């Protein structure tokens, strides 16, 4: 009875009622709460309505496709507004100063909002989702793996992986004396970044790494499909066909990760290597030996969660940055030519080094503009651990705040009248001068919880693009349909088919 009272009355009725009343009194309005379903059905219906929209390749305003509900409610109720993810209240904000205060807060007043349990199973409760003392402990172990000197060492691995992809494409292009082929770069880059992260960060065998990505990918697809469904307690324990498939995939994911960890422990007992997994395992070994590293230790279970998170964060995001950069360079051939000239000027036909890559200024500008218009991360969330006033808004404890990056990246007051257009030159004087406020760029977030690995992502993207531009020119395939989609991150719904031409022909 106590459970029923707590679950049905307090969670589904009383709390939504009181929170809604408190926020309305402050002038924060939004769609009415519907018992247990909240706004989920409305979101689903609006998304279904716009799902068929395809855009011109020079039209970068895909917000109607991925966030029609935010646009409609902002028009209807002003900003910020309140909506309901099931029975959970969420406030969507658009104000840069409010976002800055929330994201840069070091006081511990704001924590990550728990993702739905179904997503947590796939991405793992790793660094990006931890808070407080656990975050500090994990951060201290993980941060050294991404110091610049280590990243420079990783460049060799990245280049080797990218070169082998390019060689393979060159060979394909020259089969039957053709000089061009059609390639889906969405798939190609997913494989490449999977390869890089599993070699460079985890030192694992490519085959096993690839299996893990495929399993994570399949699990994510199942979980995303049911994200907006009403959550019925206990349903996830029933042996339905979908649940059984999920359990099988979860088991496979865990056992593949354990296999990588055990192989590593078995091969180098005293020295676990200098990469991420090595650092985490050392900390774990320290626990078994009595915590000699003064509280830095991680358990094997925590390491598994971190591995899931890094496999996920490390390959999905970077592969999408590359995918959208190739899309934009195909849609704007003048920029493709400009970057090719820059690559030949700074690097020639040589294999680039980390130092040479840092000289590619125009390429950095294009990548930043790609991240502004097509950044893989879409909606960040935080929730206050106590009632707190930020600016003029009083946020009640536990009410999640949503920061919609792609909408904010198109605000004309911050980015100028050409906010909707592709203009890498806006980054000519650096990222902090591109908008009217220094923290306008949110693609890697800001503050203490910003992306731990943005340098690696940028380096990997530059290395891959430089190698591609040295060897090929590319255009969008006539079969390409421009339909960016919110699939946890921003993906091209129908892939990215591109026609690739060898620059030096086939001998
Ligand atoms: C283009 C590539 C990338 C983009 C756009 C990106 C974006 C982001 C964003 C927006 C956040 C903050 C999320 C939030 O505050 O809710 C974040 C955090 C994080 N990212 Fe990235 N990321 C990229 C690449 C990577 C890579 C390659 C890795 C790892 C191999 C990585 C690992 C992480 C981790 C661990 C965090 C959590 C940091 C913390 O909470 O302390 N990211 N990333």
To the question of whether residue 269 is assigned a binding role by annotation, the answer is no
Q: Which is the closest atom of ligand 1 to the Cα of 142?
A: 35
CA of 333 to the centre of ligand 1 (A): 30
Which residue minimizes the CA distance to atom 40 of ligand 1? 128
Buried (b) or exposed (e) across 316-347, using 16+ Cβ within 10 A? bbbbbbbbbbbbbbbbbeebbebbbebbeebb
Which residue minimizes the CA distance to atom 29 of ligand 1? 314
Three-state secondary-structure class, residue 227: coil
φ, ψ dihedrals at 105, nearest 5°: -65, 130
Q: Residue ranges per domain, the chain?
A: 18-115+378-408
- Report the C-alpha dihedral over residues 338, 341, 347, 350, rounded to 10 degrees: 120
Q: What is the pLDDT along the chain (507 residues), one digit of tens a residue?
A: 677 777 788 889 999 999 999 999 999 999 999 998 999 999 999 999 999 999 999 999 999 999 999 999 999 999 999 999 999 999 999 999 999 999 999 888 999 988 777 778 788 888 999 999 999 989 988 888 777 777 777 788 889 999 999 999 999 998 877 789 999 999 999 989 888 887 766 665 566 777 887 888 888 888 877 766 666 666 777 788 888 998 899 899 889 888 888 887 777 544 555 667 777 777 776 555 544 444 557 888 888 888 888 877 877 899 999 999 999 999 999 999 999 999 999 999 999 998 899 999 999 999 999 999 999 999 999 999 999 999 888 999 999 999 999 999 999 999 999 999 999 999 999 999 999 999 999 999 999 999 998 988 999 999 999 999 999 999 999 999 999 999 889 999 999 999 999 998 876
Buried (b) or exposed (e) across 19-41, using 16+ Cβ within 10 A? bbebbeeeebbbbebbebbbbbe
Buried (b) or exposed (e) across 103-113, using 16+ Cβ within 10 A? bebeeebbbbb
Measured CA to CA, the distance from residue 84 to residue 20 in angstroms comes to: 10
Which residue minimizes the CA distance to atom 38 of ligand 1? 128
CA of 433 to the centre of ligand 1 (A): 22
On whether the CB atoms of residues 97 and 391 are closer than 8 A, the answer is yes
What pTM value is reported for the model?
0.92
CA of 167 to the centre of ligand 1 (A): 30
User: What CATH number is given for 18-115+378-408 in this structure?
Assistant: 3.30.43.20
Best residue among 431, 451, 489, 491 to mutate for probing ligand 1's pocket (most ligand atoms within 8 Å of CB) is 451
Q: Are strands 379-384 and 400-404 parallel, antiparallel or unpaired?
A: antiparallel
Per the DSSP assignment, residues forming a β-bridge with 472 are: 502
The widest CA-to-CA distance across the chain, in whole angstroms, is 79
Q: Which is the closest atom of ligand 1 to the Cα of 317?
A: 2
Tallying the residues shown for the chain, one arrives at 507
Best residue among 313, 368, 380 to mutate for probing ligand 1's pocket (most ligand atoms within 8 Å of CB) is 313
Q: Are strands 400-404 and 393-395 parallel, antiparallel or unpaired?
A: unpaired
Cα–Cα separations (whole angstroms), residue 117 to 213, 224, 311, 421: 20, 11, 19, 37
3-class SS string, 318-353:
HHHHHHHHHHHHHHCHHHHHHHHHHHHHHCCCCCCC
């Amino acid at each position: 009875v106590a459970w029923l009272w707590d679950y049905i009355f307090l969670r589904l009725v009383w709390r939504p009622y009181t929170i809604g009343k408190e926020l309305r009194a402050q002038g924060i309005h939004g769609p009415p709460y519907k018992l247990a379903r909240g706004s989920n059905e409305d979101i689903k219906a609006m998304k279904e309505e716009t799902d068929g929209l395809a855009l011109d390749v020079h039209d970068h305003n895909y917000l109607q496709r991925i966030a029609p509900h935010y646009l409609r409610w902002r028009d209807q109720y002003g900003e910020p507004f309140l909506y309901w993810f099931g029975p959970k209240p969420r406030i969507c904000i658009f104000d840069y100063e409010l976002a800055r205060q929330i994201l840069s807060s070091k006081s511990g007043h704001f924590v990550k909002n728990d993702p739905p349990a179904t997503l947590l199973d796939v991405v793992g409760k790793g660094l990006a989702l931890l808070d407080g003392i656990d975050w500090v402990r994990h951060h201290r172990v993980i941060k050294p793996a991404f110091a610049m000197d280590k990243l420079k060492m990783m460049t060799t691995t990245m280049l080797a992986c990218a070169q082998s992809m390019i060689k393979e494409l060159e060979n394909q292009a020259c089969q039957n004396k053709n000089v061009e082929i059609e390639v889906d770069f969405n798939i190609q880059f997913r494989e490449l970044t999977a390869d890089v992260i599993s070699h460079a960060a985890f030192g694992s065998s490519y085959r096993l790494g690839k299996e893990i990505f495929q399993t994570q990918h399949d699990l994510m697809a199942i979980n995303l499909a049911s994200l907006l469904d009403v959550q019925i307690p206990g349903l996830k324990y029933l042996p339905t066909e979908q649940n059984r498939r999920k359990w099988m995939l979860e088991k496979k994911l865990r056992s593949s990760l354990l296999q990588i960890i055990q192989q590593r422990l078995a091969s180098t007992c005293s020295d676990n290597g200098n990469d991420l997994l090595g650092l985490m395992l050392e900390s774990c070994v320290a626990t078994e030996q009595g915590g000699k590293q003064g509280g830095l230790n991680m358990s094997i279970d925590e390491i598994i969660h971190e591995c899931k998170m890094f496999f996920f964060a490390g390959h999905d995001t970077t592969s999408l940055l590359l995918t959208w950069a190739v899309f934009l360079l195909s849609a704007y051939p003048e920029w493709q030519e400009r970057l090719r000239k820059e690559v030949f000027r700074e690097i020639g036909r040589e294999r680039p080094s980390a130092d040479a890559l840092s000289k590619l200024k125009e390429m950095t500008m294009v990548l930043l503009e790609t991240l502004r218009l097509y950044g893989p991360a879409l909606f960040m969330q935080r929730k206050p651990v106590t009632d707190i006033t930020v600016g003029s808004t009083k946020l009640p404890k536990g009410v999640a705040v949503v920061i919609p990056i792609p909408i904010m990246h198109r605000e004309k007051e911050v980015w100028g009248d050409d906010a909707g257009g592709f203009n890498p030159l806006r980054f000519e004087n650096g990222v902090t001068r591109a908008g009217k406020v220094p923290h306008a760029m949110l693609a890697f977030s800001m503050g203490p919880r910003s992306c731990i690995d943005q340098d690696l992502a940028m380096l990997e993207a530059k290395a891959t693009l430089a190698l591609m531009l040295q060897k090929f020119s590319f255009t969008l395939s006539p079969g390409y349909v421009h339909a960016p989609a919110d699939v946890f991150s921003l993906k091209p719904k129908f892939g990215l088919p591109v026609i690739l031409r060898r620059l030096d022909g086939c001998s």
